[in-house]
Each structure stands twice: as C-alpha cells, then as structure tokens.
C-alpha cells in the first residue's frame, strides 16, 4: 500500500511524447523496463567501478553495481511505503552516463570538455535517455516519465537555488548543457528536491558502493580484515562474527562481517527516514520535493562512521599505487582518443557521420565526440586506442 507522499503512478506528469497506458504495467514499471532493455544499460557490463574491466571477473562493474543499487532501493522503498517501480527505475538509470574507466575517465573528459560546456555524468545520463538511444519509431530516447527524468537529474539534490549543494553547483555556475537541453523541453524544477523514491535511489547508491568497495578491496589484497577491525562499524561487525562463528574460514568470515555492515546501513536509513516522515507529515509527493532538506538520509553519528570508512577506502583503495598506475594509463587513452576524433571525425563509425555533417561549430562537434567516447566500454576504449594509436 503506497503512502500518500509516495509517487502515485496514475498521477504522473506524463511523458514528453504522449503514449497510451500499458494494460499490465504502471508508467514507472514501464520506465524501468525500457532502461533495462536499453543499449546504454547493457554497456555498463564492461564499464569500471574502481578496477579496470579486464583486471578480474569478480570485481564489480557499473552493471553489477546498478543491479545492487536497485535491490537496495526496492527494499527501502517497499519498507517506507514508496513506489518501488520509480525507485528501481532511477536506481538502474543513475550510472548510465558514466564514461569508460570510472571516475578517472570522467575526470579526463571534464577537463577536455571545459571549452565546450563541460561534462557531467548525471546530465549525460539524461542525454542518453532523451536523445542518444534511438530504437523507437516516433521519438529519440526512451521517452521516460517526468518523475524518472527528475530523479535522474536531481537524486543528489537540487541543481539551483538556496538548497543546492554549493560545492557541486556553485552559485552563478552554468547548468550542464545536457541538463539544460532536457529542462528547456520538460521543466524538471531544478530548484526543488527530488521525490522520496529518487532520494531512496541516491542513498541506495551509497549503501551499495560502501559495501562492495570493502568487498572488492579485500579480494584485491589492498587491505586486510585486520585493517577493517580498526574501523568503526566494520570492527564491531567482525567481532560479532568471531563471537558467533569462531574459527570461520576467511572468505565466509569476510562475507558475514560485510553483510552485517550492509544491514546496519539499511536499518539506519529506515529508522531515520521513518522518524523524519512521521515528524514532517507530508501529504503528497510534492510536499517531499518542497522541503528544505532530504528526507532520506543516514543519522549524523552513522554518517560520521561512514566518513571514516570512506577516508580509509580513499587512501587504501582509490589511491592505492596499483590503482593510481592504472589511472594514469587510462587517462592517457582518453586524452589521446578525444582530440584524435576532434581532429579526424572521419574516424568515427559510419552511423555517427550524419551527426558530424550537421555539426556547425567546434562545440557541436565536441559534444558528438563526447557522446561517442563517453559511451565506450573500458574494453572498447582500450581496443580503439590500440587500433588507432598503435
């Protein structure tokens, strides 16, 4: 049973191109299915989380990460009486705009695109679902509902206005062009927070990556269980496992400890969100949007403990010497491929030539090249670099 402040599927603000309702799926379930069947979603299989795609079959990729985020989002949404279909749709789409090589590739493209309007992976996800997917007879993109587009754009908070995160969105800074293009067509109310379902997808992202980065880091040998026993949350989790299952083999011990961390995070979010919702007494989904802060979040003490874990991961995993070495290598690839295609757009595949011919400026060409390079998988980017640059 949906709560009054949940996003009601029959009250959707609709799609940019009107369509008849499905007889067996809600509008948000239809969005979810279109995202799953999109080309961009399939490409996430070979896009990096932390480790470059070829480094091991057991490490998370953007695809497995997105599936894990969707699982957490469904759980949270169901427990809070929110719309699971919308939470799942936003969760599955939230990383569609990521470039090859994870945040390393994104950092490189941000610098390369500075003269041409910049690069933002959330805005790029919107560009994918509104323009770059070309499968349907009567429209480009996936023609998602307003609520799904809003969630992709604002799941991390407002983009403009007094409640926007000034570090991410400095006052007076231009809105990313890909976001502006969509917003000009379909006002996403960038000054407000997103729906509770989109906020659930955002916190589910935090839950998923905090959990699986610990798991992947252990598997890669970047740190040990003994290191984690020195940290808040992870230390007590290992102590509980050792008390209940003394002498448990290493892999089972790690799994049991980390699944407890997963549970701690979910329980904290549910407790705080339930208390906030009870206190605020929102009557509609719009009441959630009009608040002056997020309603779905961690408690302050728990968030401080997570910051300690994130700081540990940054030093021991994201900036580990082996990871830094690989970051330099793949940064060089992106920094080579982008200007190569700018200088020689005839190297782009034939299906991109029509777009190139229509480009009336360097900025328009750069955005086409960006769409192509950002859409590459790790594997394909490496192959293209080797093919074109020896």
| pLDDT tens sequence across 129-151 | 999 999 999 999 999 999 999 99
* Predicted confidence (pLDDT) at residue 48 exceeds the cutoff of 80: yes
d(CA 201, CA 35): 15
* Predicted confidence (pLDDT) at residue 58 exceeds the cutoff of 80: no
* Predicted confidence (pLDDT) at residue 51 exceeds the cutoff of 80: no
- Angle, in degrees to the nearest 10, between helices 102-112 and 362-374: 170
Percent of the chain with pLDDT over 70: 98
pLDDT band at 277 (very low <50, low <70, confident <90, very high): very high
pLDDT value of residue 52:
52
Which phi and psi (to 5°) does residue 361 adopt? Answer: -160, 170
Residue bearing tokens 């060409």: 365
Length of the chain: 390
pLDDT value of residue 55:
56
CA-to-CA separations, 187 to 13, 34, 139, 146, in angstroms, rounded: 11, 22, 19, 9
Contacts of 68 (CB under 8 A, 6+ apart): 60, 208, 211, 212
pLDDT band at 257 (very low <50, low <70, confident <90, very high): very high
pLDDT value of residue 191:
96
pLDDT value of residue 56:
56
* Predicted confidence (pLDDT) at residue 53 exceeds the cutoff of 50: no
If one counts every other C-beta atom within 10 angstroms of the C-beta of residue 170, the result is 10
Percent of the chain with pLDDT over 90: 91
Question: Span 75-100, mean pLDDT?
Answer: 97
CB 106 within 8 Å of CB 219: no
Phi-psi region of 144 (alpha: psi -120 to 50; beta: other; left: phi over 0): beta
Rg (C-alpha) for the chain, rounded Å, is 21
pLDDT value of residue 59:
79
Q: What is the reported pTM? A: 0.95
Eight-class DSSP state of 46: G
For residue 207, the surrounding DSSP H or E stretch is helix 196-220
Q: Which fold has domain 27-185?
A: Hypothetical protein af1432 (1.10.3210)
CA-to-CA separations, 369 to 4, 118, 273, 355, in angstroms, rounded: 45, 13, 42, 10
pLDDT in tens, 143-202: 999 999 999 999 999 999 999 998 888 887 889 999 999 999 999 999 999 999 999 999
Eight-class DSSP state of 141: S
pLDDT value of residue 310:
96
pLDDT value of residue 296:
98
Residue bearing tokens 């933002």: 120
């Amino acid at each position: 049973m949906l709560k009054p402040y949940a996003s009601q599927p029959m009250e959707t603000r609709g799609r940019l191109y009107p369509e008849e309702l499905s007889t067996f799926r809600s509008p948000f379930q239809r969005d979810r299915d279109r995202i799953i069947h999109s080309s961009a979603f399939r490409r996430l299989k070979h896009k990096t989380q932390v480790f470059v795609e070829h480094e091991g079959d057991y490490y998370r990729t953007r695809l497995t990460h997105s599936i894990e985020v969707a699982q957490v989002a469904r759980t949270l949404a169901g427990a809070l009486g929110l719309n699971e279909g919308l939470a799942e749709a936003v969760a599955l789409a939230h990383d569609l705009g990521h470039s090859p090589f994870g945040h390393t590739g994104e950092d490189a493209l941000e610098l390369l695109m500075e003269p041409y309007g910049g690069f933002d992976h959330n805005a790029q996800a919107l560009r994918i679902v509104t323009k770059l997917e070309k499968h349907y007879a009567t429209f480009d993109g996936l023609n998602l509902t307003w609520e799904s587009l809003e969630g992709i754009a604002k799941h991390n908070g407002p983009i403009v206005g007094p409640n926007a995160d000034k570090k991410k969105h400095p006052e007076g800074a231009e809105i990313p062009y890909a976001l502006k293009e969509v917003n000009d067509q379909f006002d996403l109310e960038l000054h407000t927070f997103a729906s509770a379902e989109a906020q659930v997808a955002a916190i589910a992202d935090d839950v998923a990556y905090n959990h699986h980065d610990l798991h992947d880091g252990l598997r890669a040998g970047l740190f040990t269980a003994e290191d984690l026993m020195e940290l808040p949350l992870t230390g007590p989790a290992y102590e509980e496992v050792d008390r209940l299952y003394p002498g448990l083999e290493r892999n089972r011990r790690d799994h049991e400890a980390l699944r407890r961390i997963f549970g701690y995070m979910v329980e904290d979010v549910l407790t705080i969100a339930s208390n906030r919702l009870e206190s605020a007494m929102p009557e509609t989904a719009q009441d959630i949007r009009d608040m002056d802060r997020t309603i779905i979040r961690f408690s302050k003490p728990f968030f401080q403990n997570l910051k300690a874990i994130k700081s540990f991961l940054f030093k021991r995993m994201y900036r580990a010497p082996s990871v830094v070495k690989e970051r330099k290598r793949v940064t060089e690839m992106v920094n080579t491929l982008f200007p190569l295609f700018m200088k020689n757009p005839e190297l782009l595949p034939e299906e991109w030539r029509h777009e190139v011919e229509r480009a009336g400026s360097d900025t328009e060409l750069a955005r086409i090249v960006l769409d192509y390079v950002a859409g590459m998988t790790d594997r394909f980017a490496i192959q293209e670099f080797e093919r074109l640059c020896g």
